[in-house]
A and B are shown apart, each in its own frame.
Chain A
């Protein structure tokens, strides 16, 4: 059973460019959450997708947007990249709303460097 997968592993972009990161959730999971982890910090919640809609959002600007596909995979898009967007971007998946608390399963992350 494949866990959460993310691509690419590493990415280098120039300030002002746009980037798309991809995530495939764990089998059986239909909810995807994205987190940003700056160096030396804990992960920070960006947003969550379920049924192809953004359901919750953290304190991130509109430059950060996402999409979820019918197969539950997801993309994170960041426009007009800033040097401060350099971070590890983590995707987490979980089943939605089954009345119990399920732990979120994290992927290995995509390391984005903005120069």
Chain B
């Protein structure tokens, strides 16, 4: 079973920041937080991952609370192409550990 809890759906205005929350209160010390997204009819796409420090890449920023029990994925300037299901996953730091997906958050970016 997935170890994360996410809201079922969220809306965001185009051009605004999208903040997607995730709760992972039972995360272990050796588990990272990963984010993937799945645009309709495509395979999931890796976005970002982190352990305890905030992370940023060309797609998004990841903010992890100090107690590591929750995190927020931030898309700084959402576009219509960011409309997708976003999955938050906790995972042991190993390239081939299977991903355990929950139902994710359906983000709708509105013009």
Residue positions of A touching B, CB distance < 8 A? 4, 31, 33, 35, 40-45, 48, 50, 55-56, 58, 90, 92, 94-98, 100-109
Contact = CB atoms under 8 A, between A and B. Distances in A.
B98 interface: yes
10 contacts: A42-B87, A42-B103, A45-B98, A48-B96, A48-B98, A56-B96, A90-B44, A103-B46, A105-B46, A108-B43
- SS class, residues of chain B in contact with chain A: loop
Contacts of B43: 4, 90, 92, 106-109
Chain B interface size range:
20 to 34
Contacts, number: 65
B29 interface: no
Q: Chain A binding site: helix, strand, loop or mixed by DSSP?
A: loop
B17 interface: no
Nearest to A95: B95
Interface string B34-60: 100000011111100100000000000
Contacts of A40: 103
Interface string B81-111: 0000001000101111011111110000000
A55 B45 CA distance: 23
Interface string B5-39: 00000000000000000000000000010100000
List 5 A-B pairs, minimum CB-CB distance, nearest first.
A42-B101, A106-B43, A103-B46, A102-B95, A45-B98
A44 to B, nearest CB: 7
A106 B102 CA distance: 17
B80 interface: no
Given A31-B96, A94-B96, A103-B49, A43 B101 contact: yes
Contacts of B44: 43, 90, 92, 106
A101 B32 CA distance: 10
Contacts of B41: 108
A46 to B, nearest CB: 9
